[in-house]
């Protein structure tokens, strides 16, 4: 008697989050620093370590959500408006 063939395991290439909502990929320190205007990655790591910017530490690496950084920038810009000098 022959044994039944095992069914192949399908692998998902897209991340799946619980609840069916879209998963936002995390940015590493270099990607997030580039997003924040070419800041040096070590400066961003220091800001994350001191909890100035929103970040997630997994193991010894820092990760960032683009949406959280965008909200952080919005809050920062509310407190420090940018003024430009106009020539008269």
| Per-residue pLDDT reduced to its tens digit, 22-66 | 789 999 999 999 999 999 999 999 999 999 999 999 999 999 999
Q: What is the DSSP letter of 7?
A: P
> What's the rounded Cα separation, in Å, for the pair 29 and 48?
10
pLDDT tier at 8 (50, 70, 90 boundaries)? low
- Pairing relationship of beta strands 56-58 and 61-64 according to DSSP bridges: antiparallel
pLDDT tier at 12 (50, 70, 90 boundaries)? very low
Given CA atoms 31, 35, 40, 42 in this order, what sign does their dihedral have?
A: negative
User: Which pLDDT score, from 0 to 100, does residue 76 have?
Assistant: 86
User: Which pLDDT score, from 0 to 100, does residue 87 have?
Assistant: 56
């Amino acid at each position: 008697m022959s044994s039944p063939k095992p069914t192949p395991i399908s692998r998902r290439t897209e991340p799946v989050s619980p609840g069916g909502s879209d998963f936002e990929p995390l940015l590493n320190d270099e990607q997030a620093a580039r997003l924040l205007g070419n800041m040096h990655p070590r400066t961003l790591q220091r800001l994350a370590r001191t909890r100035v910017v929103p970040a997630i530490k997994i193991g010894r690496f820092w990760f960032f959500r683009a949406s959280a950084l965008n909200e952080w920038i919005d809050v920062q810009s509310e407190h420090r408006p940018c003024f430009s000098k106009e020539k008269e």
